Structure 1
Amino acid sequence: MAIEYREWREGDDLALLEIWGDPETVQAGQFRGTLAPSGNSPWRRCIVAEDVVDGVGIPVAAAVVHEASLHPERLWAYIEVARDHRRQGIGSTLLSMLRHETKASPSGVSRLRCKVEPGTPGAGFAEAAGLMPIQRSRLVVVDPAPLKLPVFGDGSEAAASEQVEDLATGSVELSDVVGRYYTSVHGWDSPGELGIPTVQRLFLDDLTGAHGAIVLRAPKASAFGQGVPASRKGRLEAFAISYAQVSPAPGQAAQGQPAQPSDVFIGHEPELSPEDAAAAVRDLLALIAFQYPVMLELDDSMTAVRAVVEPLLEIGKAHLQGAETLVVADPA
């Protein structure tokens, strides 16, 4: 076996797919999409390993490293080696080559990160390479009616409508809270500056699939202090952004089949106390999951959401969807 290394070129994707077959993990399937020709806008370096037989090179492995506009303090890296070529030093060589390429990154950033599934060859390789877990993420499906519905104010419809509101995804108020919440739960991998246009593009634009948002507000407040009737809306305390229609697929209701879960991003005003944040998330989750299941991405850093969802996992009113994901990275 003679292994040679070169830059990625057109047609490598098809050749590698024939050798690799289906991706072994969800993360592998996602990262395969980042394998592309090297370039500087955005900065990316991609290397292919060929097994040369009788002068003909057959691609068997590839590696990529690239900068990211979101979470710019580390570079994303990915390496995949054909099953029958593993444990022969190819992955380690590719990693060394990627680390060499990072010395020329325009940002000057050289620390690497990747996503792996625990217990897989990729996770084992990352650990051997010195990449350590910095975050765990789980997809959780919450069953319908998992929590008792909250009562707002005097229990009237008017009181509820003051605190629960459908909000346009283009709302500046919503974008502000979403951006600050995302930053607050990603201290382990800073997203950098998140202005309103960036938040809308990443989380709320039509192209993201976002089609609606429900928010929970504090009770109405007076602009003139106590003793004066409340007139302005209470501040936004929690939000839920839906990325799929919450309804059964055609024919499911008639056949008694369960509805497909709606993909939801739920969060809260980061300045709330831990107790108030958990209470706001609990009330909003009770509302949005009252009739249909919802699916949430749950990072360990999302303490308020974990405080609500993990007890549901324990009593069987929620379940994991697929395997856990670990973000692994070079030590700081």
Structure 2
Amino acid sequence: MTGAQQNGSARTAPEGLTLRAWEDGDDLRLLEVFGDPVDVQQHQDRAMLAASSDTPWRRCIVAEVDSVPVGAAVVYASSLHPQRLWLYVETAASERGRGIGSALLDALRRIVTAAHAAGEVTTTALKSRYGLAPEDTRTVAEGEELPELDLESHAERAAQAEATGGFLAARGFTRIQRSRRVAVAARSVALPTLRTDQTPEGVSLEESSTGSVELTRAVAAFYNGVHEWDPAEMSLGQAQQMLLGPDTGAAGAVVLRDRPGADGGAIRAFAVSYTAERQEDPADVLLGWDPELEDAEAQQAVADLLALLVAQHPVQIEVDDSMTALAPIVDGLLTAGYAQVLADASVVATA
């Protein structure tokens, strides 16, 4: 969520403000006033802005001042997370603090209330997220100099995050999660012992088809297990559709077992790559584990698989605070200077 007014108090919308439904071409019109997204998260959030629909249920509106688009907002229902509706609001930087964000949010809340009364949606609870200014935890190769931090840009993002957080808090939103995208440097985690004839106590690393039923079950169980804060109902079909199928960009997968699958070894941790070819940037990887493992076992499995993933090349992973087997490992790498926060967000929701 971007472009909240600078404090939590209500403001009168500017003269000439009108709200209308999303129209074809609004994405290009708004890009002219919004500018380029500041990070991957904002790029993803803007992709939510689209024409209203009933299946899936989505309502999107645009704010205009004197017939010029200056903001937009969307709310939509997700069958995967049915307890809350996703909300995204953005206003042009030059128009912030004038009450446009409030007008958009208030309008969507009225729409949601009416839709709930009509039985079109099952809830009026909302959730949103806004970017935080990442901490300066950049990594650098030996012998190179650390690039200078853009203090002005960092200060602007910190101020915007504070303003947006205040705006949402004043409207009944409270924090329910922190979500980060983190790059982990190559050779930053101690390698585990792999299982061989000489080391039968070692872990077993195996490639897996992204269409594997076993992997699909593991992915769905993991996703549901780490989303108790926003209960998920991911089915095997949704796991394929959203995380593993051809349209997701999934390029390959590996699984970690305590013994080979042929000997009955169960998946303890898995990694799905969304980077088809080797490149300079860290490969995009989904890292997960068996939620039925004890905490210590899960953390060890995650550490072992992460070590194998970064044995030669860096990776980037998503880390929510609810991922209790992964978050402590990542925090340790950040503290030691072996990881870098690429995006940092606070997820907030109404009661």
Instruction: Give the conservation status (yes or no) of the 8 Å contact 1:214–1:239.
Output: yes
* Residue aligning to 2:348: 328
Instruction: Give the conservation status (yes or no) of the 8 Å contact 1:185–1:301.
Output: yes
Amino acid at match of 2:61: I
* Residue aligning to 1:125: 167
Matches for 1:44-55 after TM superposition, within 5 Å: 44-52=58-66
Matches for 1:80-99 after TM superposition, within 5 Å: 80-99=90-109
Distance 1:287 1:24 in 2: 31
Select 1:191's aligned residue among 228, 232, 240.
Answer: 232
* Residue aligning to 1:61: 71
Write out per-residue CA displacement over residues 121-156 of structure 1, whole angstroms, 9 at most, x where no aligned residue.
433422332222211111111111122221245673
Select 1:149's aligned residue among 191, 196, 202.
Answer: 191
* Residue aligning to 2:213: 172
Distance 2:339 2:96 in 1: 38
Instruction: Give the conservation status (yes or no) of the 8 Å contact 2:90–2:101.
Output: yes
Query: Is residue 333 of structure 2 the alignment partner of residue 312 of structure 1?
Result: yes
Query: SS at 1:310's partner residue?
Result: helix
* Residue aligning to 1:210: 250
Deviates more, 1:168-177 or 1:64-73: 64-73
Q: Are the structure 2 counterparts of residues 138 and 163 from structure 1 closer, same or farther at C-alpha, using a change threshold of 3 Å?
A: same
Write out per-residue CA displacement over residues 284-332 of structure 1, whole angstroms, 9 at most, x where no aligned residue.
11111111111111110101112322212211222222x31111111x3
* Residue aligning to 2:143: none
* Residue aligning to 1:3: 17
Distance 1:115 1:65 in 2: 13
Matches for 1:135-146 after TM superposition, within 5 Å: 135-146=177-188
Distance 2:208 2:109 in 1: 45
Instruction: Give the conservation status (yes or no) of the 8 Å contact 1:141–1:293.
Output: yes
Amino acid at match of 2:178: R
Instruction: Give the conservation status (yes or no) of the 8 Å contact 2:57–2:121.
Output: no
Query: SS at 2:176's partner residue?
Result: strand
Distance 2:30 2:206 in 1: 50
Select 1:201's aligned residue among 241, 248, 268.
Answer: 241
Query: Is residue 56 of structure 2 the alignment partner of residue 42 of structure 1?
Result: yes
Query: SS at 1:304's partner residue?
Result: coil
Query: SS at 2:105's partner residue?
Result: helix
Q: Are the structure 2 counterparts of residues 156 and 213 from structure 1 closer, same or farther at C-alpha, using a change threshold of 3 Å?
A: farther
Q: Are the structure 2 counterparts of residues 180 and 240 from structure 1 closer, same or farther at C-alpha, using a change threshold of 3 Å?
A: same
Question: Aligned Cα RMSD in Å?
Answer: 2.2
Q: Are the structure 2 counterparts of residues 272 and 7 from structure 1 closer, same or farther at C-alpha, using a change threshold of 3 Å?
A: same
Write out per-residue CA displacement over residues 89-130 of structure 1, whole angstroms, 9 at most, x where no aligned residue.
221121111011112141221111112013324334223322
Distance 1:85 1:91 in 2: 9
C-alpha deviation, 1:202, in angstroms? 1.2
Query: SS at 1:283's partner residue?
Result: helix
Identity across matched positions, percent: 43
Distance 1:128 1:26 in 2: 27
Aligned length, in residue pairs: 305
Query: SS at 1:68's partner residue?
Result: coil
Tell me, which stretches of 5 or more residues in structure 2 are unaligned? Answer: 1-14, 133-157
Distance 1:27 1:212 in 2: 24
Matches for 1:12-31 after TM superposition, within 5 Å: 12-24=26-38, 26-31=40-45
Instruction: Give the conservation status (yes or no) of the 8 Å contact 1:134–1:329.
Output: yes
Larger radius of gyration: 1
Distance 1:98 1:171 in 2: 41
Distance 2:266 2:25 in 1: 54
Amino acid at match of 1:284: L
Matches for 1:229-248 after TM superposition, within 5 Å: 232-245=263-276, 247=278
TM-score by length of 2: 0.80
Amino acid at match of 1:278: Q
Query: SS at 2:325's partner residue?
Result: helix
TM-score by length of 1: 0.84
Instruction: Give the conservation status (yes or no) of the 8 Å contact 1:246–1:261.
Output: no
Query: SS at 2:263's partner residue?
Result: coil
Write out per-residue CA displacement over residues 247-266 of structure 1, whole angstroms, 9 at most, x where no aligned residue.
3x4xxxxxxxxx32111111
